[in-house]
Structure 1
Amino acid sequence: MTTTTTEAPIADWVDPAELMRDPYPTYRRLVHETPVAWVPALGRYLVTSSAACRAIEEDQETFSAAVRGGGATMARAMGATPMLRKDDPDHARERTAINTSLRPKSLRAHWAPIFERNARNHLETLRSYGPDEADLNRDYAAPVASQNLIDLLGLRHVTVDDLRRWSHAFIAGTGNLLDDAEIWRRCDAAQDEVDALLTELIPFYRKAPDESITSALIASGLPVEQVTANVKLVISGGMNEPQHAVTNAVWALSHHPAQRRRVLADPSLWARVFDEAVRWQSPIGMYPRETTRAVTLQGVQLPAEAPVGVVVGAANRDPAAFARPDEFDIDRERRPHLAFGSGVHLCAGHWAARIAIGDVAVPLLYEELPGLGTDPRRPETWDGWVFRGLTTLPVTWDA
């Protein structure tokens, strides 16, 4: 941290459309020139260096998760404020309710066989399209992530299409800062459907508790509105990272054949593939915070109630934290990244993602589909920067 204090530089050159297409050139310039900067086009301060992002997560008293704007739309989208937009002790009280369901021991003992069953089921769907028409995101990554989440939440009689529709509606509502009526219509419809489902599930799980997240939330004694808000939070946030982790890993290995050959020869390297894939192409690129007081961050003055974007997608490629940060390299020195956040708001589901995707879903693809790789004959599509990933990824394999 520098001792020189200045007002925040203005990055009026940042173009939201370019961020959506490919945020990394913008990230490189911000990290190099202005790692804490006011961005008029986004109406917030963007923080892009690894050190500054970590400093924010270590000081929740100054950098609050209970943001206005995005916090208000999230509460509107989900019917109440979920734990993600709370600070301790309220955040800790609700987070503790689900921690037992998401510990590594419980995940490996109870959930890993379910994750493998889901992956094998949807692998058959992918295989049915054949090596000329299969899309890894559509036919495998998205439905596997959806079904795993349905099972983790204990949502009975729910399809992967239901969950995907609800997730998209809640995410759109959370980001509906322009108050678009059609977005609220879809979001309200999703709320009604989930509320109706939970009206049935809450008394069911009170009588017959199990290992699911919903059951744990109910057993914790939280008010019903907080149970429902947090179930909706998991629905909205629990699909993107595991879904994109699948496609990112396959895309990365397809473009780095020497590393792909090494991993196939040594399955112990799959954990490194997962970690490096989510660092290199972070599925969650940015999340909001708000200052509770005037503060100096890396020598830059921020006022009280300043809207801040913690750009972990940029921090994960900060050359001050990672050597050759723009390269995918499973042999790089092991250093903690921010793909799952850090501090008290470290993603509750990070172990579930590591096991379901890093241990099961991605290795299974290569075991069952020899020669798997991206298909250069058909176009692929990347999208987003707040949430970023491949929305289409044509793949092929040896027939």
Structure 2
Amino acid sequence: MSNAPVSHIDPVAFNSDPYPALAQMRREAPITFVPELNATLLTHRDDIHREEKRIEVFSSRQPDGLMTQLMGENMMRKDGAAHMSERRALFPALSPRTVAEHWQPMFEAAAREIIEKLKPKGQCDLVTDYAMPVSAAALIAITGLEGMERADMDRVSQHMIDGCANYAGDGPTEARCHAATALIDTHIDRMLDCAPAKSALAVQLDAGLPMDSVRANIKLVISGGQNEPRDAIAGVVWALLNHPAQLAAIRAGRYSWQDAFGEYVRWISPIGMSPRIVATSDTVGDVTFKAGDRVFFMFSSAGRDEAHFEAADQFDISRDTSRAIPFGAGPHFCAGAAASRALITQVALPLLFNALPDLHLTGDAPFAGWAFRGPLSVPVAW
């Protein structure tokens, strides 16, 4: 392992709220080995921003990693030309133009339908009743898996990311992940001869990618395209309802839904970290890494780095978030960022607040997760 100073965590407390431990790491040992995770964590924004680009040292290729074992070797677990060829194949489904012209009208139609069904109820859990189906409907369209139910899309995504964060090796968690990937493969097989135009399935088939890559990349899109938008939609709403003056500033046109989204993903990063394997021994600062070391780039910590963000633990939509890196900073920058932004800032948030102007919280919103983080429930009424 690296010769980084050691920091211990309480895994239960870290899952409940990783930010106090990450703040201590930034102060005392910004590059630190955590035995409970068997990984060296980089916690400063500038270290992550710089080192993530050095794929010759910090490689994404992890043939023995959890994601590869459970989901197949997708493009996020490849570097260089292999990564870029698959990224280019997928790009036609996720480009900003495709999102704006093709997917966004579908996003809006689904969100309006969900809101209209919610209106008469007067209350709901924002996570399960709005953010989940809105995100799932968008993801069903983008992937091309039209036969999948929205609840199934949410479930398989959650079970896959739980599996990919299962560093403790829990058997039932792994079993649920395998069941999820098997269900996805079943839906892929059903759509092979009728993949919808511009979908992730169609563009990869058109590009002639091998089927194992097609399957792995569809699973990647699902693992990143369901839970993160779901958690961000519910989380931004929760944050704004807890900061009514900031919500009022958006309604008055002084700030935008994009400002709220950008600040939220800096403050509570839905994607908390990205794993790497050291490909060749190298030194960063005073820390020497050895080939085979496991490294976690802690995006969640980067978003609260005091060197770049004053009062970093506070939610403030007036903040300049241009230095935040919630989607990554290197060649593996999130391919679905344009779709996520459009879904959340152009559709889910404005439609909800316009349709339910007296929306308010009715209880606590517990959060969980450190590799992936979001609210477990957000009870609201109107």
Length-normalised TM-score, structure 1: 0.91
* Residue correspondence of structure 1 range 90-169 to structure 2 within 5 A: 90-131=82-123, 134-169=124-159
Give the RMSD, CA atoms, in angstroms: 1.8
Task: Give CA-to-partner distance per residue, 1:5-55, whole Å, 9 cap, x none.
Answer: x9411112x221111111111111111111100111111111110011112
Deviation at 1:386, TM superposition (A): 0.7
CA contact (8 A) 2:58 2:279 kept: yes
CA contact (8 A) 1:259 1:330 kept: yes
Letter in 1 for 2:230: Q
Distance 1:270 1:188, change over 3 A: closer
Task: Give CA-to-partner distance per residue, 1:119-168, whole Å, 9 cap, x none.
Answer: 1122134324313xx11101100111111100111112211112122212
* Residue correspondence of structure 1 range 147-296 to structure 2 within 5 A: 147-205=137-195, 210-266=197-253, 269-296=256-283
CA distance in 2, matches of 1:124, 1:49: 44
Deviation at 1:309, TM superposition (A): 0.9
CA distance in 1, matches of 2:166, 2:11: 16
Deviation at 1:95, TM superposition (A): 0.9
Distance 1:342 1:192, change over 3 A: same
CA distance in 1, matches of 2:152, 2:271: 22
* Helix, strand or coil at the partner of 1:144: helix
Deviation at 1:203, TM superposition (A): 2.4
CA distance in 2, matches of 1:128, 1:299: 60
Distance 1:179 1:38, change over 3 A: closer
CA distance in 2, matches of 1:271, 1:278: 11
1:336 aligns with 2:341: no
CA contact (8 A) 1:125 1:140 kept: no
* Helix, strand or coil at the partner of 1:343: coil
Distance 1:171 1:52, change over 3 A: same
Which residue of structure 2 lines up, in the alignment, with residue 74 of structure 1?
67
CA distance in 1, matches of 2:277, 2:203: 30
1:318 aligns with 2:318: no
Letter in 1 for 2:7: A
* Helix, strand or coil at the partner of 1:203: coil
CA distance in 1, matches of 2:246, 2:170: 46
Q: Runs of 4+ in structure 1 displaced over 6 angstroms?
A: none
CA distance in 2, matches of 1:394, 1:167: 22
CA contact (8 A) 1:126 1:136 kept: no
Which residue of structure 2 lines up, in the alignment, with residue 346 of structure 1?
333
Which residue of structure 2 lines up, in the alignment, with residue 381 of structure 1?
366
Q: Percent identity?
A: 38
* Helix, strand or coil at the partner of 2:376: strand
CA distance in 1, matches of 2:192, 2:11: 42
* Helix, strand or coil at the partner of 1:274: helix
1:393 aligns with 2:378: yes
Could you list the runs of 5+ residues in structure 1 that have no partner in the other structure? 1-5
Letter in 2 for 1:21: S
Which residue of structure 1 lines up, in the alignment, with residue 81 of structure 2?
89
Which residue of structure 2 lines up, in the alignment, with residue 63 of structure 1?
58
